[in-house]
Structure formats: C-alpha cells, structure tokens
C-alpha cells in the first residue's frame, strides 16, 4: 500500500503522468464508496499486456484502470483532440495515442498505422495498452459487438517481431454501481489472460480466420465479466431490479453484490425464455414500482425490511439534531470545493459519460487548493500554530458532513415510508 501512494514518484515516468496518477488514486478512494479489483494477481509481469475492456463511462474507464496499475498504461483515444501541437505533446506525456476516423479528414490507414506501430513497440517492451473494442462508450450495462482492433494489434505485433514476443490479452470488465454520481462502488474483474501465441500458427496460414477467432474468444470472456443486459426494450426495468431493489446479502463486498446481481439477471433471462407473458407483466409491474417510488420519494429497500421502530426513528432524529452544528460547520467549510465540480460539469459538459471522470479528477484538486488556501488565511489571522490545528478539521468535517447528509436522506425516507403505511392503514379502516 505504501508503494501505491509513494513509490510512483520515484519511477521514470513523465512528471505530468505522476501528477495525474496521484489525482486519480486519490479520486478513486474519495469518489467511490468501495472499490475492488479481482483477477489482478493472475496478470503476469514482464509481459506485453493488452487490456480488452468494456466501455461504459468515457474517460473514467481508462483512468481507473491506470490508477490500479503500477506501470504506465497507454490507451487509444480519438485523434481530433490531438490537433494542437502543445495539447498533443501533453497528451503523449500521459501515454495517450491517437486513433483516426474517416471524419478526421486524413488518410486513416496511414495515420493509424503509425499508432499501431507504436503499440507493437510498447507490447514488445512488455508495456500495457488499454483498448475498448466496442469502439465507443455508452452507459448501458450491455456488451456491444466488438471491433477487431484488439486481435489485429496483438497479432500485428507478433508479425512485426517475427513472432518473437511474449504477449497476453487480458479481458477486463468494469462495473459501476452508479455511472454518474459519487459514493457508488467500482468493480474491476479481470479474466485469466489469453495467450496470443496460441493463435500464431493460425494467423500465419489464415490471418482473417485467426483475427475472427481471437475476437470471438475475447467477446466470450468479456461477456462473462460484466452485467450484460441483453433485453434493450426493458433495459430500464431490468436495471432497476438489479440496482435499486435490495439484494439479500448484507456484506459490504463489491464482488458479492456483483455476483448476486448476475444471478438475479440470469433468473430474469430464464423467466423471459420460459414464460414470455409472465416476464412482460413483471416488467410492467416493475415500471409501476419505479413510478411510485419516485412519486413518494422513497427507496425500494424500505419495502424489503420490517418497518423501523419508533425508538429507532427517534434515536436517528436525535443523532441528527445533536450533530447538526458539526454538519453545519463542515458544510460552510467545504461546500464550494464539493459543489464547484458539480456546477461546472452539469452546466458545461453535455455528454453525461464524461461527468464522472471530470468530477473525480476536479474534486481532489479543488479540495487541495481550497484547504491549502483556507489554512494559509487562517494562519495569517490567528498564527501558524492554530493554522496547523485548523488543517485537519477540514477533511474531518467534510467527511462528517457527507455522512450526515446520507443519514439525513435515509431518515427522511423512513419518515415518508411510515407516513404512507399509516395512510394505507387508515384507508383500510375506513373501508
């Protein structure tokens, strides 16, 4: 853990990448409630690694992987952001490589070949490259058809170096509990690496067939690593059932919750296959549940448990009342750095897929600047000794205020649910 925070400063990386890495690993710990990376130990060292990853959240996808990898990680991105020389130089310092499309108005084959040659060299030197074979991003938890770029780059690297290369493809699934808001969970799920050398002989005799087979292998592996909702007509209802209706596990484990959602989805898919009519009716009921929960501003987990006792409600209420002064202090001290990224992103960034990455990156930077400035001003007014005492109160009150708001929202929902249940009982008595 110590190297995770400090060791990268002593590695021969670009300074800009080190700074970005520091922001990302801090952002991951503060933006996500829980995060877990399974299968990482099976990824070999001293080997070229080509990550094949599902793409749900634009820039957030590559940076969370890079933040969990202790070596520089290259990734391909659209070429139009490389137009200005200074920007192109900065992007190259964080190991981004341009991929050209027809709309860019250039010879895509020629220009992309330069990028592919760079990829071949990186892989030969046992480097890491992230590729999103779906070709574009979309928040839906569904695996779209894969492009053949992963297989072509892997086998192209082998061909360039006369098959004298140690290269693995690592299918890696990313799952976000909530794509656009903080305090959700992040799950990275890596499969056993695919040994590209298994396809060398096939590629020598029939390149097209080898590329197709390797691409199908990647798709098969990747689909097992994610929550893959195939029924697009009822996507919203299925997502609601998986992520809003409570799970049976009370364990605070990202993997256990992910596995239970996968099992729940399989049961729903089985119902769809065996009893289409019942499945359709179930989707209608789910939509009604969504509407009612939103209308009354309560969450489905309240329906899943026995009604909370009056004593519990009173206890929570007293806790909120007694701790309100601390919450108010935390709110006043930390409101601006918390809200500025939200205001900025919501107003200026139309594509919601970029919201999470920008909020996660802006948050640590703004809090650091704000806390440093506030501490300096406090020290100027009251002296540096009091300034040093003031500094730790900032993160403490920020965390306290955030937890307070979560509890407040929960208690508010409990009161709303209790009111609804009491009204229902009164209606029954009047019948």
Domain with residue 59: its CATH number is 3.40.1130.10
Q: Which of 179, 196, 228 is the last residue of a domain?
A: 228
Q: Does residue 233 fall inside a structural domain?
A: no
Number of folded domains in the chain?
3
Identify whether residues 213 and 278 lie together within a single domain: no
In a domain, 237, yes or no: no
Q: What is the pLDDT of residue 1?
A: 38
CA quadruple 362, 368, 371, 373: dihedral sign: negative
Residue 136 lies inside a defined structural domain of this protein: yes
Does 426 share its domain with 322? yes
Same domain, 56 and 187: yes
One domain for residues 121 and 89: yes
- Is residue 406 situated within a structural domain? yes
Same domain? For 268 and 180 the reply is: no
Clarify whether residues 177 and 57 are in a common domain: yes
Are 181 and 278 contained in the same domain?
no
Residues 299 and 315 reside in one and the same domain: no
Q: Three-state SS across the chain? A: CHHHHCHHHHCCCCHHHHHHHHHHHHHHHHHCCEEEEECHHHCCCCCEEEEEECCCCCCHHHHHHHCCCCCCEEEEEEHHHHCCHHHHHHHHHCCEEEECCHHHCCCHHHHHHHHHHHHHHHHHCCCEEEECCCCCCCCCCCCCCCCCHHHHHHHHHHHHCCCCCCEEEEEEEEEECCCCCCCCEEEEEECCCEEHHHHHHHHHHCHHHHHHHHHHHHHHHHHHHCCCCCCHHHHHHHHHHHHCCCCCCCCCCHHHHHHHHHHHHHHHHHHHHHCHHHHHHHHHHHHHHHHHHHHHCCCCHHHHCCCCCHHHHHHHHHHHHHHHHHHHHHHHHHHHHHHHHHHHHHHHCCCHHHHHHHHHHHHHHHHHHHHHHHHHHHHHHHCHHHHHHHCCHHHHHHHHHHHHHHHHHHHHHHHHHHHHHHHHHHHHHHC
Are 254 and 340 in the same domain? no
Residue 425 within a domain? yes
Residue 235 lies in a domain: no
Which domain, by its residues, includes 90? Answer: 2-228
What pLDDT is attached to residue 26? 86
User: For residue 237, what pLDDT is reported?
Assistant: 95
Chosen domain end from 303, 330, 355: 303
265 and 349 fall within a common domain: no
In-domain check, residue 221: yes
What is the full per-residue pLDDT of the chain (431 aa) written as tens digits? 334 456 677 777 888 888 888 888 888 888 898 899 999 999 999 999 999 999 988 888 988 998 888 888 999 888 888 888 888 888 888 899 988 877 777 777 888 899 999 999 999 999 999 999 998 888 899 999 999 999 999 999 999 999 999 999 999 999 998 888 888 899 999 999 999 999 999 999 999 999 999 999 999 999 999 999 999 999 999 999 998 888 887 777 899 999 999 999 999 999 999 999 999 999 999 999 888 888 877 777 676 655 667 888 899 999 999 999 999 999 999 999 999 998 998 888 888 888 888 888 888 899 999 999 999 999 999 999 999 999 999 999 999 999 999 999 888 888 888 777 777 666 555 54
Let me know whether 296 and 317 are in one domain: no
Query: pTM higher than 0.75, yes or no?
Result: yes
Which of 303, 328, 346 terminates a domain? The answer is 303
Let me know if residue 234 belongs to a domain. Answer: no
* Domain co-membership, 181 together with 298: no
Confidence (pLDDT) at 84: 85
């Amino acid at each position: 853990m110590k190297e995770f925070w400090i060791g990268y400063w002593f590695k021969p990386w670009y300074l800009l990448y080190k700074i970005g890495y520091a922001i990302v690993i801090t952002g991951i710990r503060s933006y996500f409630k829980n995060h877990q990376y399974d299968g990482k130990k099976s990824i070999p060292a001293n080997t070229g690694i080509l990550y094949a990853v599902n793409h749900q959240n634009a820039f957030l996808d590559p940076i969370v992987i890079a933040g969990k990898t202790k070596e520089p990680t290259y990734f391909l991105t659209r070429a139009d952001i490389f137009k200005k020389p200074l920007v192109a130089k900065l992007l190259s310092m964080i190991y981004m490589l341009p991929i050209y499309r027809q709309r860019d108005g250039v010879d895509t084959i020629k220009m992309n070949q330069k990028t592919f040659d760079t990829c071949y060299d990186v892989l030969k030197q046992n480097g890491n490259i992230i590729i999103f074979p779906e070709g574009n991003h979309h928040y839906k938890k569904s695996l779209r058809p894969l492009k053949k770029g992963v297989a072509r780059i892997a086998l192209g690297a082998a061909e360039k170096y006369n098959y004298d290369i140690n290269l693995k493809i690592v299918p890696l699934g990313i799952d976000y509990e909530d794509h656009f808001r903080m305090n959700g969970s992040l799950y990275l799920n890596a499969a056993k690496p695919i040994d590209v050398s298994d396809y060398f002989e096939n590629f020598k005799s029939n390149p097209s067939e080898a590329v197709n087979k390797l691409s199908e292998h990647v798709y098969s592996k990747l689909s097992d690593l994610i929550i893959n909702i195939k029924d697009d007509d009822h996507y919203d209802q299925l997502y609601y059932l998986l992520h809003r209706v409570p799970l049976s596990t009370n364990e605070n484990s990202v993997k256990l919750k992910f596995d239970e959602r996968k099992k729940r989805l399989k049961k729903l898919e089985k119902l769809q296959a065996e009893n289409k009519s019942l499945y359709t009716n179930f989707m209608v009921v789910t939509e009604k549940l969504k509407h009612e929960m939103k209308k009354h501003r309560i969450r489905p987990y309240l329906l899943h448990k026995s009604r909370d006792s009056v004593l519990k409600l009173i206890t929570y209420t007293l806790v909120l009342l007694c701790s309100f002064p601390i919450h108010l202090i935390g709110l006043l001290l930390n409101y601006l750095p918390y809200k500025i990224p939200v205001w900025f992103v919501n107003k200026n960034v139309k594509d919601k897929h970029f919201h999470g990455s920008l909020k996660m990156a802006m948050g640590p930077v703004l809090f650091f600047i704000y806390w440093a400035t506030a501490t300096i001003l406090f020290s100027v007014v009251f002296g540096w000794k009091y300034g040093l005492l003031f500094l730790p109160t900032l993160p403490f009150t920020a965390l306290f205020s955030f937890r307070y708001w979560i509890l407040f929202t929960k208690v508010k929902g409990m009161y709303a649910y209790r009111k609804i249940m009491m009204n229902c009982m009164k209606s029954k008595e009047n019948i």
